[in-house]
Amino acid sequence: MHGLFAGLALSLASGAAVGAEDCAALAPAFPLLPALAQPVALLPEPGGGHWLLALREGRVLRFENAAGAALTQTVLDWRDRIESGPPETGLLGMALAPDFDGSRRLYLSYTTGQPLASVLVRLRLDARMRPEYASTKLLLQVRQPYANHNGGHLAFGPDGYLYLGLGDGGGNPEDRAQDPNEILGKLLRLDVSSPSGYAIPEDNPYARGGGRPEIWASGLRNPWRFSFDAKTGTLWLADVGQDAYEEVNRMVAGGNYGWNRREGAHCFGAETCDRAGLIEPVAEYGHDEGCSITGGHVYRGKALPWLDGQYVFGDFCSGRIWRLDEGGKRRLLLHSELHIPSFAQGEDGELYVLNFEGKAGHGIYRLAPGACGKTEG
Ligand SMILES: [Ca+2]
């Protein structure tokens, strides 16, 4: 299976030294916060004063962006409408509109049950960050044939459009990821600026036919976290592997990233395969180093100047965190003992790591300078 969160059953990897001269550590970012049940997404509120935190079970919490933050405000509690029984379901993605100060729009991506579906919903938050429930609008709904590989991550691009990643539907591969008439196994790009529903950006690959017009990139198995470089706008996406390889992709419009003909830079389930038209990952690792990749961010902070411009990502199961160096080579940054469901980036470019276990004071870590070989978590 090797799906997201499946690695919980694996034993924690032991701490290990990093080999690089440039080293980093993880420090608890908000040591006074209470225990957090399976955090999956963390977003800075515009202005930098607060954070929004999504819990898989279906709650959105808010807390002050201060080392001494000790209280959380419940922004939203939709545990009654969100299906979070199977391990890859739940509240999976969250984004604030680029014009949030004016529009007050919050976007949520989650699964609903009976029958299982992935939905994209929008609602407004008032000036005190309380939901205006009457503003809730269902924007997109897609039936999930199986409970795993739901993707669900949301992020606005520098183009102002909302990107939504959907996995291949799970179960045995049924080639949805290569089918342009299916939105599963794809990265979608939506214009959500209109009063209701969404519009298709006119430069989407299938805007004039040939496939579902929402599709921006295809050939994905379970895109679990993607992000835009805050400086260059480059879109980086991690695709969770099936049996053997986890991969990082640099995304382009209309790109086909290979699943399920390729897993990482290898043919999937075959000795040979047709690679025509498929884009290879920029990095991969085997299941000797982890079992479920979690995409991160390009570092743009000040705490680790040598890391500027490098993509940082991790593995949910092994707790390893890597960077892609200036030459694009994958290097171990540190070996944590965390189950990492997500990374986050502050408005200042600093990187945060979520801990799925969310113990009190240890649910959110910040990437910080550290001695080589020191591990945390
Ligand atoms: Ca691929």
Residue 18 has pLDDT above 60, yes or no: no
The C-alpha atoms of residue 324 and residue 330 are separated, in whole angstroms, by: 5
Question: From CA 41, how far away is CA 278, in angstroms rounded?
Answer: 30
Burial track 187-226 (b if 16+ CB lie within 10 A, e otherwise): bbbbbbeeeeebebbeebbbeeeebbbbbbbbbbbbbbbb
Q: How far is the CA of 60 from the centre of ligand 1 (A)?
A: 32
> Which has the minimum average pLDDT: 20-29, 36-45, 164-173, 270-279?
20-29
| Centre of ligand 1 from the C-alpha of residue 225, in Å | 14
**Would you place residue 22 in the very low, low, confident or very high pLDDT band (cuts 50, 70, 90)?**
confident
Phi/psi of residue 302, each to 5°?
A: -110, -20
In order of their start, the domains of the chain are 6-369 (2.120.10.30)
Task: State the SS3 of 207-240.
Answer: CCCCCCCCEEEECCCCEEEEEECCCCCCEEEEEC
Two tokens, residue 254? 């209309």
pLDDT digits (tens, 9 = 90+) for 152-197: 999 999 999 999 999 999 977 789 999 999 999 999 999 999 888 8
> Per-residue pLDDT tens for 37-56?
999 999 999 998 999 999 99
How many angstroms does the Cα of residue 276 sit away from the middle of ligand 1?
A: 13
Q: How far is the CA of 112 from the centre of ligand 1 (A)?
A: 28
| Cβ neighbourhood burial of 361 (10 Å; 0-12, 13-18, 19+) | middle
pLDDT of amino acid 375: 53
Transcribe 76-121 into DSSP letters: EE-TTTS---STT-SEEEEEE-TTHHHH-EEEEEEEETTTTEEEEE
Query: What residues pack around ion ligand 1 (CB closer than 5 A)?
Result: 257-258
Q: Report residue 329's pLDDT band, with 50, 70 and 90 as the boundaries.
A: very high
- For residue 161 the two structure tokens come to 């459009």
pLDDT score for 196: 80
pLDDT of residue 174: 82
Confidence of residue 377 (pLDDT cuts 50, 70, 90): very low
- Whole-number Å distance, alpha carbon 307 to ligand 1 midpoint, is 26
Closest by CA to 211, choosing from 176, 236, 165, 235, is: 176
Helix (H, G, I), strand (E, B) or coil at 265: coil
Q: Sort 305 into a burial class: Cβ within 10 Å, 0-12 / 13-18 / 19+.
A: exposed
